Amino acid sequence: MIYLDANATTPVLPEVLEEMLPWLREGYANPSGSYAAAKLVRKAIEQARAQVAALIGAEPEEIIFTGCGTESVNTALHALDTLTGQGAAVVSSIEHSAVLRCVENLTRARELVPVDAGGRLDLVALSTALDGAAFVSIMAANNETGVIPPLLEVVELARARGVPIHTDAVQAAGKIALNVRELGVDLLSLSAHKFHGPKGVGALYVRRGLRFAPLLSGGGQESGRRSGTENTAGIVGMGAAASRVMRQLTPHPAAALRDAFEARVLAEISGVTINGDVTHRLPNTSHLSFDGCDAAGLLILLDESGVACSAGSACMTGKQRPSHVQLAMGIPEARAKTSLRISFSRLNTLEEALAGAAAVKKAVEKLRRVQGLGVGPVTVYSP
């Protein structure tokens, strides 16, 4: 398999797995225990906390481990909802469903801030929405297009109005540099499996001094901020992955692969559109529309060639509706249904990127032959 779906999940790095295994074998003690074996587990968890904190420039005590990125987001939004007064929850229209569904379930009003054709946040609309808002949540990078919103400006607008801010950095972490002190956010969500750590473990940064209300109550683990016996191996894996990816953030190892893939696709296939602002994009993500090609058909042909990628976000796969992200960008429904997301990980090679491009070309040509549809010119979105 040529795996080009890194925004859905990434393979665990072999050295990360090695670091995890002892904590699934002999290191099984409950870290809340008072005996030596438990203290060893506690020490490993605290080391991982420091490693995850370092990835985002935080202090270890500002990191809470959670069961996944979704739980991290829900914990952050629950805390903000509980501790803020009246006002709307302000989010962008292209947030991941973890944010969108969560705010839908709150009893307070919500404001969806639009994006333009390049997937860029409308800062004027945001500024208006922030007047009288209770809190705001804007992602650090979009999972489908890879577009990176201007978080510094978002924080500045929010700060000026005293509105606390959460950012869903699940896709951004490990792909671009993130520093919570420089960004000035109050809460930030992470998920290990998006940066070569294991699935089922996430983290939430909570700025020191921020009032907090836990989502999960119980045994009081994580200083009472997230009850539940710790997933030691997962946490150790998250810490190990964080410290590995930090060593090579810029340039991201997949950036050259993504660029080579896109260059080959644009040179050899007509009727291709790159979606999203290419000047503010994750280095590993390519979101492309292919005139006259149904994405579901492309995925089947690519799968037959051994290439794994996504139509829209992984969470949308199987649904016939175009993704909310593409619709929010004003991409016409017909074109939205022709879009693929190809996302590279640190473990991909140039050979795989080029073989992926060749497989896409073959699939597009076959579908167009079968469907006999006309093809437009190559379009690159220019901001």
Ligand X SMILES: Cc1ncc(COP(=O)(O)O)c(C=O)c1O
Residue 98 touching ligand X (CB under 6 A): yes
Residue 312 touching ligand X (CB under 6 A): no
Name the amino acid, one letter, at 2.
Answer: I
Residue 168 touching ligand X (CB under 6 A): yes
To ligand X, the closest distance from the beta carbon of 312 in angstroms equals 12
Q: How far is CA 321 from the centre of its chain?
A: 21
Residues 102, 293, 309, 315: which is the catalytic one?
Answer: 315
Stretch in the footprint of ligand X (CB under 6 A) among 25-33, 166-174, 216-224, 370-378: 166-174
To ligand X, the closest distance from the beta carbon of 168 in angstroms equals 5
Q: Which of 92, 137, 167, 171 binds ligand X (CB under 6 A)?
A: 171
Query: Does an H or E element contain 334, and which?
Result: helix 333-336
- Please say whether the beta carbons of 312 and 276 come within 8 A: no
- Closer residue to ligand X (CB): 75 or 359: 75
Active site residue 315: yes
Q: Which residue has the tokens 């650090």?
A: 140
To ligand X, the closest distance from the beta carbon of 94 in angstroms equals 10
- What is the rounded radius of gyration, in angstroms, for the C-alpha atoms of the chain? 21
Task: Give the count of residues interacting with ligand X (CB under 6 A).
Answer: 14
- Please say whether the beta carbons of 155 and 188 come within 8 A: no
Stretch in the footprint of ligand X (CB under 6 A) among 62-70, 105-113, 118-126, 173-181: 62-70
Q: Name the E strands within the chain.
A: 2-3, 63-66, 88-92, 110-113, 133-137, 165-168, 187-191, 202-206, 272-274, 285-290, 307-308, 339-343, 379-380
Q: Give the residue closest to ligand X by C-beta.
A: 69
To ligand X, the closest distance from the beta carbon of 143 in angstroms equals 3
Residue 170 touching ligand X (CB under 6 A): yes
Residue 202 touching ligand X (CB under 6 A): yes
Task: Locate 226 and state its tokens.
Answer: 């997230």
Binding mask 119-158 for ligand X (x = CB under 6 A): --------------------x---x---------------
Stretch in the footprint of ligand X (CB under 6 A) among 104-112, 128-136, 167-175, 283-291: 167-175
State whether residue 330 is helix, strand or coil. Answer: coil
Residue 276 touching ligand X (CB under 6 A): no
Residues 6 or more apart whose Cβ sits within 8 Å of residue 351: none
Q: Which of 48, 58, 62, 96 binds ligand X (CB under 6 A)?
A: 96
Torsion of CA 123, 152, 186, 284, to 10 degrees: 100
Closest CA to 80 of 213, 225, 271: 213
Torsion of CA 241, 243, 245, 247, to 10 degrees: -160
Residue 331 touching ligand X (CB under 6 A): no
Q: Which residues are catalytic?
A: 315
Give the residues lining the site for ligand X (CB under 6 A): 68-70, 73, 96, 98, 139, 143, 168, 170-171, 191, 193, 202
